[in-house]
Structure 1
């Protein structure tokens, strides 16, 4: 199997198996409305088989970081429509990643106390408009509020379709809200959403079912990051947790499962075995620079192991034409770390494509 082979993804025909991974860039307006530069940024990368946007909050309460986009106001929908129109005009396909940050937030960002499965503060710090600050203790959601957030995700997915997206990806990874419910250290609940493994997966299952019912399962993907202690998350037996979760989700016929590969290969193998649908894999997390080959060798290894799609993060960030560069075995642009988060267009939409001068 080749990275350049076409593949069916839900309702979409993808021209290649290279996916632009979701990456926070903090370039939205302060009110969460996407900017014209964001439309340029995504359209530049339309040769990817599929684009996944940066994590986008379904509500103000769900915002974790400054200058991230939302999808909960009419103005935000209109801003995203300019992005999707630009990507589609360039021949691309794009999904909106929905991310509620849960306890990974701070009142300094939006004036609200973060919410979470339980009132358990994450260890560490988060960036705010006033610089890095310690995480605060979140407020535990009531059972009724958990049900409200399921509806919140559903409405956000409907708004994404209104904004012209080809579908959505639900972010149940990296220690954010959906992942917090799966956790055994962030979720200490005693109601139907906590305690047993079956209860801990309930919220994620309900969100996926709600969104799939609203816009169609073939327009919905799910991202997971098993056995990764990001944002102070632990899971207990990750293999058992995700085998149970995927057992509930497999019959729905989702467009994809997006696996951030675990260091434990046994966990990866069990997830592949438990998932009968399209599997997207993000093979590695490299910072601040991707490997010299942009992750191509690792990607091709994963295709041989049973992945259907490979998501590339910093490779696409620094190389809008990553597909063409891989096809031509051309050198890759160096990433500019200073332009990763926030700021202007430098290190954002000024990376050259093949044949352009870097001067």
Structure 2
């Protein structure tokens, strides 16, 4: 029997299996960044996952990347999330909130403010706005004195997440967003204590994680990383050295987990597994890449040393993914045109497997 369906102790939680629902942007929030009843249904439908990690949730208005995404920086947002977390718990699930500060991957048409980043270097590509895709604007480089307040914003959102009923939080340190921008060697051109050397480039990530641990505890804090990833035009030099240094510092905090994406060669990922003494969630396929994670790839990474396996797109069209994986049922295909279109179609309309009479 594969360990994919064995229970696992994660902090204070007992997960009934090692299948994790990866964070996925679905842009279904209401005005003001409020969670909705449809979001409660969506996550509750998938509560058989060992752990659900929510879509990216902005910790501040200036941290919002896309229109239509939820927040955790107002009392109204906290109140709107409570029925979502309650629905997951009622269905026997566990859910972490992914805290995502977009940094330079944002637009004034979305937030009313110029995006901020480590340096005045725009992201590569078009960003989403309320009126359609537009070229990424040049961000305002944060002053040295401002940087700590943005690190602290993750902690403030984490406090609100716990108040909203989440079991913990995951810091989004991947995919070209703010933490990833500080790690980058081309988005981060700073010459102060937050730029240049590996020690300085990891500093923001460590400060954000440290503040969050202080706010809600290490057992409720994870982080997602995409070593070597090139999302939104970020580049990283010395990938193995950079992430080994980062994991060494994070290990001192006793985080609940590190969540790695398969954005580096396998030998690098295995070396990072060895460098991280704690729980590792592995996302074995490139996000938005041509392949989706399947049972065979999950089993392979468990054998390579991962503790938990995250599945992304497969969970969209298969709310009963755990059961389908367990007994080898076919997976339903996902309609990519409904990823971000809003509404319940392609969100709540995928059925569980229909057994023949």
Is TM more than 0.5 here? yes
Residues 268-316 of structure 1, C-alpha deviations (whole Å, 9 max, x = no match): 122111100000000003648755xx51111110000000000000111
Query: Normalising to structure 1: TM-score of the pair?
Result: 0.96
Counterpart for residue 274 of structure 1: 275
Q: CA deviation at 1:144?
A: 1.6
Residues 242-293 of structure 1, C-alpha deviations (whole Å, 9 max, x = no match): 00011111121111000002341221122111100000000003648755xx
Counterpart for residue 303 of structure 2: 304
Counterpart for residue 343 of structure 2: 344
Counterpart for residue 212 of structure 1: 213
Counterpart for residue 91 of structure 2: 90
Counterpart for residue 258 of structure 2: 257
Counterpart for residue 118 of structure 1: 119
Counterpart for residue 334 of structure 1: 333
Contact 2:22 / 2:312 at 8 angstroms: preserved in 1?
yes
Figure out how many residues of one structure are paired with residues of the other and give that number: 355
Query: Is 1:30 aligned with 2:31?
Result: yes
1:290 & 1:262 partners in 2: Cα distance?
13
Counterpart for residue 146 of structure 1: 147
Counterpart for residue 156 of structure 1: 157
RMSD: 1.4
Query: Is 1:54 aligned with 2:73?
Result: no
Q: CA deviation at 1:354?
A: 2.1
Any idea what SS the aligned residue of 1:165 has? coil
Counterpart for residue 229 of structure 1: 230
Q: CA deviation at 1:143?
A: 1.3
1:124 & 1:282 partners in 2: Cα distance?
24
Any idea what SS the aligned residue of 1:347 has? coil
Query: Is 1:194 aligned with 2:195?
Result: yes
Contact 1:289 / 1:335 at 8 angstroms: preserved in 2?
no
Q: 1:286 to 1:216 in 2, by over 3 A?
A: closer
Q: 1:286 to 1:223 in 2, by over 3 A?
A: closer
Residues 78-106 of structure 1, C-alpha deviations (whole Å, 9 max, x = no match): 11111000000000000000000000011
Contact 2:262 / 2:286 at 8 angstroms: preserved in 1?
no
Residues 146-198 of structure 1, C-alpha deviations (whole Å, 9 max, x = no match): 11112211111100000000000000000000010011101111111111110
Contact 1:288 / 1:337 at 8 angstroms: preserved in 2?
no
2:274 & 2:263 partners in 1: Cα distance?
15
1:197 & 1:288 partners in 2: Cα distance?
29
Select between 182-191 and 333-342 the one with higher mean Cα deviation: 333-342
2:287 & 2:236 partners in 1: Cα distance?
23
Contact 1:320 / 1:351 at 8 angstroms: preserved in 2?
yes
Contact 2:220 / 2:256 at 8 angstroms: preserved in 1?
yes
Counterpart for residue 135 of structure 1: 136
Any idea what SS the aligned residue of 1:270 has? helix
Residues 322-356 of structure 1, C-alpha deviations (whole Å, 9 max, x = no match): 01111121111110112111321000011000237
Query: Normalising to structure 2: TM-score of the pair?
Result: 0.97
1:106 & 1:327 partners in 2: Cα distance?
43
Query: Is 1:45 aligned with 2:46?
Result: yes
Residues 6-60 of structure 1, C-alpha deviations (whole Å, 9 max, x = no match): 0011110000000000000000012100011000000000000000000000000
Any idea what SS the aligned residue of 1:96 has? strand
Any idea what SS the aligned residue of 2:245 has? helix
Q: CA deviation at 1:145?
A: 1.1
Contact 1:56 / 1:96 at 8 angstroms: preserved in 2?
yes
Structure 1's unaligned 5+ residue stretches are none
Contact 1:58 / 1:100 at 8 angstroms: preserved in 2?
yes
Contact 2:175 / 2:231 at 8 angstroms: preserved in 1?
yes
